[in-house]
Amino acid sequence: MPKTEVILIQNIVGLGGESDLVKVAPGYARNYLYPQGLAVPLTSANKRRIEALKRRRGEREAHELNTMTELSKSISKLIAVLQVKTGDDGKMFGAVTAGMIADQLKTQFDIALDKKKIHLEQPIKVLGEHDIELRLHSDVRATLKVRVESTTPLAAHDDARSTHGQDPARTESRGHKRADRLREEQPPAEAGAGEKSQRPDRKPRAPRPERSEKPAKAEKAEQAGKAE
């Protein structure tokens, strides 16, 4: 079936811009383009509209260029912060997509940007800062800094391990074991040693005289015999 020529009133991605003459299937023009006000048939009366459409198109494109240029300057100073869930090992659940970045720009900075303008070679799957290319216009590029943070940060001992290369829990355990070993090697203190150290020095007692092995009665009898 032969195609029909139409004049585009508005820009249609993949087809053309306003004021362009394009050929499309008659059914597509009749059932979609004409009812939606996106195009008009190519007639003598409509040809006179082409110049007006071209002027409007030029003004629109100039306005878009200026707007995107200013936006690129502002975006280059921003940092979009996205928070994601991670496991205990710090690995992300899922990935950050262009749609998520576009939503965050709207939420954080009130910037409405089509996610198609956010160029990601692949979704972001690692925490940290990332430079993302924005294709705002055919002649305008910008770089947005995106910081991906975890809503479940690693425990303090994991942070210390990554900083010092040691596990504090293991180091503390070794310290306890060393203290226990030193206590075992040290001889036990005598009972009451602390109290004795606080008392003043006393003179040693004189030894008591040894008692005679003889009974007391035998000794007295012997002394009486000597007296006689």
43 token code pair: 């007639």
Q: Return the closest-CA partner of residue 92 out of 124, 46, 60.
A: 124
Looking at the fold, whether 82 and 134 belong to one and the same domain comes out as yes
- Whether 33 and 84 share a structural domain: no
> Within this chain, do residues 67 and 34 fall inside the same structural domain, yes or no?
yes
- Picking from 104, 125, 150, the residue at the C-terminal end of a domain is 150
> What is the SS3 assignment for 28?
helix
CATH number at residue 124: 3.10.430.100
Are residues 91 and 42 located together in one domain of the fold? Answer: no
More confident residue, 221 or 123: 123
pLDDT, average across residues 206-225? 55
Token reading at 18: 């306003």
- Residues with Cβ within 8 Å of residue 117, at least 6 apart in sequence: 134, 135, 136
Q: Among 35-44, 110-119, 215-224, which is the least confidently predicted range? A: 215-224
Which of 71, 91, 109 terminates a domain? The answer is: 71
Split into its structural domains, the chain has a count of 2
User: Hey, what amino acid is at 198?
Assistant: Q
- Tell me which of 47, 71, 95 is where a domain ends: 71
Considering the domain boundaries, does residue 225 fall inside one?
no
CB-CB contact of 33 with 39 (8 Å): yes
Find the mean pLDDT for residues 104-128: 93
In a domain, 12, yes or no: yes
Coil, helix or strand for 13?
coil
Helix axes 168-185, 156-164, angle to 10 degrees: 90
Enclosing domain of residue 89: 78-150
pLDDT of res. 8: 92
Q: Is 28 a domain residue? A: yes
C-alpha–C-alpha distance, residues 8 and 41, integer Å? 9
Asked if residue 187 belongs to a domain, the reply is no
- pLDDT level of residue 197 (50, 70, 90 thresholds): very low
Mean of the pLDDT values across residues 78-101? 91
Q: Is 60 exceeded by the pLDDT of residue 190?
A: no
Percent with pLDDT over 90 in the chain: 45
What φ, ψ does residue 108 adopt, rounded to 5°?
-85, -35
- Are 66 and 97 within one domain? no
Asked if pLDDT for residue 34 goes beyond 70, the answer is yes
Mean pLDDT for the stretch of residues 47-68: 89
Band of pLDDT at residue 90, cut at 50, 70 and 90? confident
